[in-house]
Structure formats: structure tokens, C-alpha cells
């Protein structure tokens, strides 16, 4: 090839590269991005001109210097070849910006510092992802792909709720989320600060709120913590520097058992309680009849408004059972005084809750605040137009509120915005509250419901929010795992124009770029796991031949080994079901284009003979039970029990959970009848299930058995087989064992549902 041709070919390649989407990985997708040829090269001499936006300039100079090792400085002179941040009132919109990245220099324009901040966040995403490193990275070509961007958000409000009450998270963890939110242009952190299980913010007038109310009793002792006012002010400042607004949530009138534990007079009957040990809806709520309750509300607000400058203030309002109010003389007197009657399908008590909401609103309005409440605040009627409704029980509340002219924030669990839900097959995921919201579901959410759009009321939708409730998030890693990458999907749902959304392209940007950035911020993000299409099991029994198939919740490469070694990104790529005619072990993981891998699954595939049926006579329905009172957490602890009570027979498994009101452990034994020869797949929320002496289900390391974790399988001949079920009745990880009942599901063969083992199938002699 001649030199000239080579140059032409290279030029063409560059042009092709310039036009290809792969050079541009920005999340959320900008309104318009026009590719340009070439790159802007960041060098040790690059300067930032930011005369009218010095704080923003300094923020990014420091950030760029840290990762590159260069000394990027602010300059007073507009110099060619550098970066300029210009306040330009012609750019309309508080968060809008224009960004020109050319080989000759970078210019960001916006009418506000916030707009310039977002322009620079986009610029960082045009640079290699290593720009998010806290320490200098060598060997990186610090080039930003040239382009012209015009950008503004679709919705003013993009939010993330963090629940710091069910579990406590340190300030450093919250700062990490704020960093990630600001990178992805999410502008509101809704901080859920008060709950039945804990009160998390120092209130100087009521010191017991944190002395007593911040600590919850668990099977492993006391757990908890709180933020001092100084710490919270520090967090607010940190967030402000990143243009994230922190909305405090102080829940009234319900979800306040921790406050009642500190100050019993807050309840209708002055009850002496402790912060709630278990999850779920607490029936004891604050009294709406006593003036002291309202004084408490006002005092708390007085202190919170000094910490949180946010114009928006969340007053809760959800899941307040109002049962106590019905028989409380104070509440009833208040309802009489207000002249409340059961009418229009609204109880006096529902209207009393509305009164509480309006009192809170009046008081907060004096501070110039707008209130937000969960969609229950619509129930009692008479809601002021200024109140903002947060739609969580589906979209019904949001639709009703928007169509009635209230501003709404959409965060429906049914829309994939409850990011405490599972994002992969529940049997494989860490324990959770339930629900299923894979990344594609969160990404696919449309914040303006059809019924609002049809009425032309879309402007009342402020925007979407993901909610990260923390019942099942005991630590930072678990919290990250649920929030990421779904929070990045929310970023695009809230910011990008509807017609710009494309899940496949979002996944590409996520996997090739954002995943590196998340890792540099020490975010333990979710990577889809290899799942078995008919239900995942780590122990697969077979009799003749078995093909084990895998898939992922979104297309990703999977790698595996069959020799017992841990797979690496270079291991065999999964392309088709893996065939076994003798026993073996699969180790399989998902690998991203970056080389990052999911957790490795180990699946034992075992060739078995059909286990023969038991030849027993004189069987009767039911299982025999051994019972011992006391608190046990794992089955090993039962090995030392010598005094069992053997007096009971249960007719069905559900009875296992009803053998006493105190903590106990029980072992049910007998026979299970199966109709056909073949392989049976077994799942259970019990601690252990044994069939014919094989431990088929072992949940000892799964304290919370909501999702019937990964079970096992066994080859059985038709007939009766010995069964042993271990059940432990106690509260583990905030969940009483009896909430899920006691169930065993068995599937015959490779496909179909998992019918529950019925009473008619259980026997003893």
C-alpha cells in the first residue's frame, strides 16, 4: 500500500470512528450530540477558565489533576486550547448547557453554575473512564472525543431515596452515592431519617430520640447509629457542592415507633415500647389528639430546617394504620373539635390524618418549604394544591394527584422504581423483600402515565425517583448491589428525552464505560448472573443425560470451567447447553467487556440412581415433630439438644410455624409421597430439607428466607421417601420466621411450576 493510500485509509477509519456511537458513552443520553472528527487532548498545560463559575472550575481542576497527575490550573485569561466555563444567559433552563469539545479547545456554556457543572460531568464522560480515579493513572491517552452537545433535562426532578433507618449507613457511604448521583445528573437525595426501627438524626431538644431511638435489638445484639447535626450539615454542604439537594423525610403520623420508644407520650396510650425489631407496618403511631404531639412535630421541624436548606420537605404519611386513633380519647376529642364525620367514604380518622398533614404544611410553609407526602396523603381529602404527592402504590395516586393539579413525583414499585426489589432470579440474588425489577424494567419506566398525558397534565409530573428501602441491606456492599446500576437507568429515565432512550445502547454504555467509573468509586454494582431458564439450582440431579442451560437478564458473555477451577474472562465462552452423561461440576460467571466478573456460581451436576421407595406399612397422615424451646440460629446448634419434646404430629407444614409463641426449633420427620419415577427439584423456606438422607435444601446461611433460596434436586422412584424438615422459629435479620409460613415446593422433571407439597402427601408411622 502506498503511503498516500495508507493516510487516506487511516483518515477514513478515523471518520468512521468519529461517526460511530462507541466514542460517546454519556449517561444520561444528551438531548443532541453531534459527533465531530478528532479529539481534545488534555495535557499537563491545560487550563480552565471559569471566572464566573470558580467553584465549579476548581472542582473539576482538582478532579482532573487527581486522575491524570497533571497540574490542571484555573486561569484568568481565555486561552486557546484550554477549557472555558462561561455563564451565558442565552442558554435557557437552570440545568441546561451547551458543550463544544473540539481539538482546539473545550467550551461549556450555561446560564447557571449548575448547568456548567453538568456540562463538565458530560465532558468527563467523554474522557477515558479512568478519569474517575482518586490516584494518578499512567498510560492513559487523556483524549475526549470531539462533539457538540446541547442538553437539558426532560424532568426537573430526578431522585434517589436512601433509607438509613432500617440499617444505618456511614456518612462516607452517603457521600459516595452523592458523587455517583452528581456524575449522572440526579439532583435530589431523599433521605429517609425517621422510622419504626430507628431515628437517625440528632434533635437537641429531644436527646432520647437518638439515645434510645437509634438502636434496634437483633439476634446479634444492639445495632444502629445516628448522624449528629454537624455531620448532617457536612453532608448537606458536600451535596450542595455537587448540586444535589437533600430532602429530609420526617414521617408523621406513622412509622414513628422509635420516637415513641424514646418518648412514650407521643403515642395514644403512653406505651412503653422499643424500636421495632421486625420490618412491616407498625400499628402503634403518634397520637393526633394531643397538643404535645404537635409541639413535638414543630420542634423537630424547627431543628431540621436549620440543617436542610431544601425547599422540599417530606412529611411521610404512608402506612399509618390509625387503629389506635379509633379508641383514643384524645384523637376522638380532636376529631369532634374539628367536626369530622365519616363521609364520602372517608373515615373520621383518615380526615384526622389530613388535618395532621395540613398542620405540618402550614408550619413548613412558614419556613418557605413545600411539603411532599406519600400518596396516602390524598386519602383524607382537603389536600392543599401546594402539597406534592409521591406516588408509590403504583401510579394511581400519581395520576389522581396530577390530574387534580398537584405536583407529583413518580416512584411506583410496579414500575421498577423500588430498587430494593430483585434484579435477577430471586433464588440467586441476596435476600430481599421481594418484587422483581431487572434493569430493563427500571430503564423502561415512563414517568408520565398515559392517563395524565391524555388529560394534558404532564407538566405536573416533576419527575421520577428510585427508592432504596433498606430492610434487607445490612451493609454498604449489599446496598450498592441493589442501587447500581439501576440508579443509572433512573438517570436516563429522568433526564433524557423519551425518543432518545434505547436500552441496548444504554447497556453498552454501562458495560463498557460506566462500570469502570462505578468500580473506581468502589461501588459494588450488580452484574447479571448466569441463570438456568427453568429455575436456578446449584445441585442438579439426573439419571441418563442432562443438558444444563444458562441465560442472563440482559445479553452478556458467560464463561465457565468443568475442571473445578475458577473461571476467568479467558475461560470457555458459554454458547450452548452443557451436556453431561456423567457427574461433574460447572463453575460459571458473567464477564463484562471490561473483564469484570459476576460472582462465580458452582453447580454440581450429579448422575444418580432413582432412590428406592420405602417399604413401610401402617402409615398415617402427617409428620412427627421434635420440638425444643429456645433461640437457635443455625441447625448445628441443635446437635447439642438432648431434651426434645416428641409429643406432636402435624398434619401440614404450615403448623410448624404455630407450635409456640416464643422462640423454638422443630424437626418434622416422616415420608413424602411422589407419584412418578424421576428427578424432583425442591425449594423451601425452611432451614433444611432432607430426602432419603440427602440434604436437598440448606438455608443455614440464608437468614431471611423470603424468596425460597436456591434448593436442590434428587432422583426418586415413585412411592414414599423419608423426609426431614428443620424449622427455626425466631426473628432473623428483622424477619420472624413464621411470616413466610413453612413451605416445600417440588417440581417433577425439568420444566413447569413448583407445586407446594400438600398435607395429603406427608405421612408418618
Q: Please report, as ranges, the residues that interact with Zn ion according to CB under 5 A.
A: 268, 287, 289, 328, 330-331
Q: To the nearest whole angstrom, how small is the minimum distance from the Cβ of residue 615 to ligand ACM?
A: 54
Q: To the nearest whole angstrom, how small is the minimum distance from the Cβ of residue 318 to ligand ACM?
A: 4
Name the residue number minimizing CB distance to ligand ACM: 318
The DSSP line for 379-400 is: TTS---TT-EEEE-STTHHHHH
757 binds, among Zn ion, ligand ACM, none (CB under 5 to 8 A by kind): none
Q: To the nearest whole angstrom, how small is the minimum distance from the Cβ of residue 207 to Zn ion?
A: 24
Q: x/- string (CB under 6 A) for ligand ACM, residues 265-304? A: ----------------------------------------
Q: How far apart are CA 646 and CA 628, in angstroms?
A: 9
Q: To the nearest whole angstrom, how small is the minimum distance from the Cβ of residue 178 to ligand ACM?
A: 22
Q: To the nearest whole angstrom, how small is the minimum distance from the Cβ of residue 360 to Zn ion?
A: 17
C-alpha cell at 167: 440499617
Q: Is the peptide bond before 450 cis (omega within 30 degrees of 0)?
A: no
Q: How far apart are CA 25 and CA 23, in angstroms?
A: 7
Tell me whether residue 193 or residue 268 sits nearer to Zn ion (CB atom). 268
319 binds, among ligand ACM, Zn ion, none (CB under 5 to 8 A by kind): ligand ACM
539 binds, among ligand ACM, Zn ion, none (CB under 5 to 8 A by kind): none
Query: Could you say which residues in the range 574-633 bind ligand ACM, by CB under 6 A?
Result: none
Q: How far apart are CA 394 and CA 406, in angstroms?
A: 17
Q: How far apart are CA 25 and CA 2, in angstroms?
A: 35
> Are 455 and 405 within 8 A, CB to CB?
no
CA 710 from chain centre, in angstroms, equals 21
C-alpha cell at 46: 491545560
Q: Is 160 helix (H, G, I), strand (E, B) or coil?
A: strand
Tell me whether residue 159 or residue 567 sits nearer to ligand ACM (CB atom). 159
**Cell 387534580 -> residue:** 404
392 binds, among ligand ACM, Zn ion, none (CB under 5 to 8 A by kind): ligand ACM
**DSSP-assigned letter for residue 654:** G
- CA 432 to each of CA 468, 712, 744: distance values in angstroms, whole numbers, following the listed order: 11, 20, 19
Task: Please report, in angstroms and rounded to a whole number, the separation of the first and last CA atoms in the chain.
Answer: 88
Tell me whether residue 433 or residue 665 sits nearer to ligand ACM (CB atom). 433
Q: To the nearest whole angstrom, how small is the minimum distance from the Cβ of residue 328 to ligand ACM?
A: 23
Q: To the nearest whole angstrom, how small is the minimum distance from the Cβ of residue 267 to ligand ACM?
A: 20
287 binds, among Zn ion, ligand ACM, none (CB under 5 to 8 A by kind): Zn ion
Q: To the nearest whole angstrom, how small is the minimum distance from the Cβ of residue 313 to ligand ACM?
A: 16
> Where would I find the beta strands (DSSP E) of 592-703?
601-607, 620-621, 623-629, 645-650, 664-674, 678-684, 688-691, 694-698
472 binds, among Zn ion, ligand ACM, none (CB under 5 to 8 A by kind): none
- What residues have CB less than 8 Å from 692, skipping those under 6 apart? 611, 714, 716, 721, 722
Q: x/- string (CB under 6 A) for ligand ACM, residues 373-402? A: -x-----------------x----------
Residue 472 near ligand ACM by CB under 6 A: no
Tell me whether residue 331 or residue 356 sits nearer to Zn ion (CB atom). 331
**Cell 424468596 -> residue:** 707
Query: Could you say which residues in the range 309-328 bind ligand ACM, by CB under 6 A?
Result: 318-319
Tell me whether residue 392 or residue 680 sits nearer to ligand ACM (CB atom). 392
Tell me whether residue 196 or residue 708 sits nearer to ligand ACM (CB atom). 196
> Where would I find the beta strands (DSSP E) of 1-78?
32-41, 47-49, 73-75
Alpha helices in 72-145, H assignment, sequence order: 113-126
Q: To the nearest whole angstrom, how small is the minimum distance from the Cβ of residue 252 to Zn ion?
A: 13
Q: What are phi and psi of 298, to 5 degrees?
A: -65, -40
Residues that bind ligand ACM (CB under 6 A): 318-319, 374, 392
Amino acid at each position: 500500500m502506498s503511503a498516500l493510500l495508507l493516510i487516506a485509509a487511516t483518515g477514513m477509519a478515523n471518520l468512521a470512528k468519529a461517526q460511530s456511537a462507541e466514542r460517546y458513552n454519556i449517561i444520561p443520553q444528551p438531548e443532541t450530540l453531534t459527533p465531530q472528527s478528532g479529539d481534545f487532548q488534555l495535557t499537563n498545560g491545560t487550563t480552565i477558565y471559569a471566572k464566573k463559575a470558580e467553584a465549579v472550575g476548581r472542582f473539576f481542576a482538582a478532579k482532573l489533576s487527581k486522575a491524570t497527575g497533571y497540574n490542571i490550573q484555573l486561569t484568568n485569561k481565555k486561552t486557546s486550547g484550554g477549557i472555558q466555563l462561561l455563564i451565558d444567559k442565552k442558554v435557557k433552563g437552570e440545568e441546561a448547557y451547551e458543550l463544544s469539545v473540539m481539538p482546539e479547545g473545550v467550551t461549556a456554556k450555561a446560564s447557571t453554575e449548575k448547568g456548567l457543572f453538568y456540562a463538565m460531568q458530560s465532558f468527563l464522560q467523554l474522557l477515558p473512564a479512568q478519569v474517575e480515579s482518586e490516584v494518578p493513572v499512567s498510560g492513559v491517552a487523556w483524549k475526549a472525543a470531539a462533539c457538540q452537545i446541547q442538553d437539558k433535562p426532560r424532568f426537573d426532578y430526578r431522585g434517589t431515596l436512601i433509607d438509613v433507618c432500617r440499617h444505618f449507613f456511614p456518612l462516607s457511604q452517603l457521600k459516595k452515592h452523592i458523587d455517583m448521583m452528581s456524575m449522572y445528573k440526579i439532583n435530589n437525595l431523599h433521605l429517609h431519617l425517621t422510622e419504626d426501627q430507628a431515628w437517625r438524626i440528632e434533635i437537641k431538644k429531644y436527646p432520647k430520640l437518638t439515645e434510645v431511638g437509634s438502636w434496634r435489638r437483633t439476634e446479634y445484639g444492639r445495632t444502629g447509629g445516628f448522624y449528629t447535626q454537624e455531620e448532617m450539615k457536612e453532608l448537606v454542604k458536600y451535596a450542595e457542592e455537587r448540586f444535589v439537594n437533600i430532602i429530609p423525610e420526617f414521617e408523621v403520623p406513622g412509622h414513628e415507633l422509635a420516637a415513641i420508644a424514646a418518648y412514650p407520650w407521643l403515642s395514644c396510650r403512653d406505651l412503653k415500647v422499643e424500636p421495632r425489631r421486625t420490618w412491616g407496618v407498625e400499628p402503634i403511631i403518634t397520637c393526633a389528639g394531643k397538643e404535645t404531639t404537635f409541639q413535638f412535630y414543630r420542634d423537630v421541624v424547627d431543628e431540621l430546617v436549620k440543617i436542610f436548606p431544601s425547599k422540599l420537605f417530606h412529611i411521610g404519611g404512608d402506612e399509618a394504620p390509625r387503629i389506635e386513633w379509633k379508641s383514643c380519647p384524645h384523637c376522638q376529642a380532636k376529631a369532634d373539635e374539628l367536626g369530622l364525620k365519616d363521609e364520602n367514604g372517608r373515615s373520621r380518622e383518615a380526615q384526622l390524618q389530613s388535618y395532621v398533614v395540613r398542620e405540618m404544611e402550614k408550619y413548613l410553609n412558614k419556613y418557605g418549604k413545600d411539603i411532599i407526602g406519600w400518596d396516602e396523603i390524598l386519602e383524607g381529602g382537603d389536600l392543599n394544591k401546594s402539597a406534592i404527592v409521591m406516588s408509590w402504590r403504583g401510579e394511581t395516586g400519581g395520576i389522581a394527584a396530577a390530574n387534580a393539579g398537584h405536583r407529583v413525583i413518580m416512584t411506583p414499585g410496579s414500575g421498577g422504581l423500588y430498587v430494593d426489589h430483585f434484579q435477577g432470579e430471586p433464588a440467586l440474588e441476596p435476600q430481599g423483600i421481594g418484587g422483581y425489577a431487572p434493569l430493563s424494567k427500571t430503564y423502561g419506566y415512563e414517568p408520565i402515565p398515559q392517563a395524565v398525558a391524555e388529560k394534558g397534565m404532564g407538566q405536573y409530573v416533576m419527575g421520577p425517583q428510585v427508592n432504596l428501602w433498606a430492610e434487607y441491606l445490612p451493609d454498604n456492599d449489599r446496598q450498592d448491589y441493589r442501587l447500581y446500576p439501576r440508579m443509572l437507568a433512573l438517570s436516563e429515565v429522568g433526564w433524557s428525552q423519551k425518543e432518545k432512550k434505547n436500552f441496548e445502547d444504554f447497556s453498552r454504555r454501562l458495560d463498557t464505560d460506566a462500570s469502570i467509573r462505578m468500580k473506581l468509586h468502589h461501588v459494588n454494582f450488580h452484574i447479571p448472573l448466569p441463570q438456568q431458564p427453568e429455575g436456578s439450582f446449584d445441585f442438579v440431579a439426573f439419571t441418563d443425560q442432562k443438558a444444563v442451560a444458562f441465560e442472563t437478564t440482559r445479553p452478556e458473555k458467560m464463561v465457565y470451567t468443568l475442571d473445578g477451577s475458577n473461571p476467568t474472562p479467558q475461560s470457555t465462552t458459554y454458547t450452548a447447553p452443557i451436556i453431561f452423561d456423567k457427574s461433574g461440576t460447572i463453575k460459571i460467571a458473567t464477564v463484562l467487556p471490561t473483564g469484570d466478573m459476576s460472582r462465580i456460581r458452582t453447580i454440581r451436576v450429579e448422575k444418580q440412581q432413582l432412590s428406592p421407595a420405602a417399604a413401610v406399612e401402617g402409615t398415617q397422615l402427617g409428620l412427627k415433630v421434635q420440638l425444643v424451646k429456645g433461640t437457635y440460629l443455625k441447625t448445628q446448634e441443635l446437635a447439642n439438644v438432648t431434651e426434645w419434646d416428641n409429643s406432636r404430629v402435624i398434619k401440614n407444614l404450615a403448623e410448624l410455624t404455630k407450635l409456640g409463641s416464643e422462640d423454638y426449633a422443630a424437626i418434622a420427620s416422616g415420608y413424602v409421597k411422589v407419584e412418578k419415577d424421576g428427578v424432583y427439584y425442591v425449594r423451601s423456606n425452611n432451614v433444611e430439607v432432607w430426602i432419603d438422607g440427602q440434604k436437598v435444601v440448606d438455608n443455614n446461611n440464608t437468614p431471611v428466607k423470603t424468596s425460597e433460596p436456591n434448593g436442590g434436586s434428587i432422583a426418586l422412584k415413585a412411592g414414599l421417601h423419608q423426609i426431614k424438615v428443620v424449622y427455626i422459629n425466631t426473628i432473623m435479620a428483622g424477619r420472624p420466621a413464621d411470616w413466610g409460613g413453612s413451605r416445600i415446593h417440588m417440581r417433577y422433571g425439568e420444566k413447569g411450576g413448583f407445586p407446594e407439597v400438600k398435607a395429603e402427601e406427608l405421612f408418618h408411622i
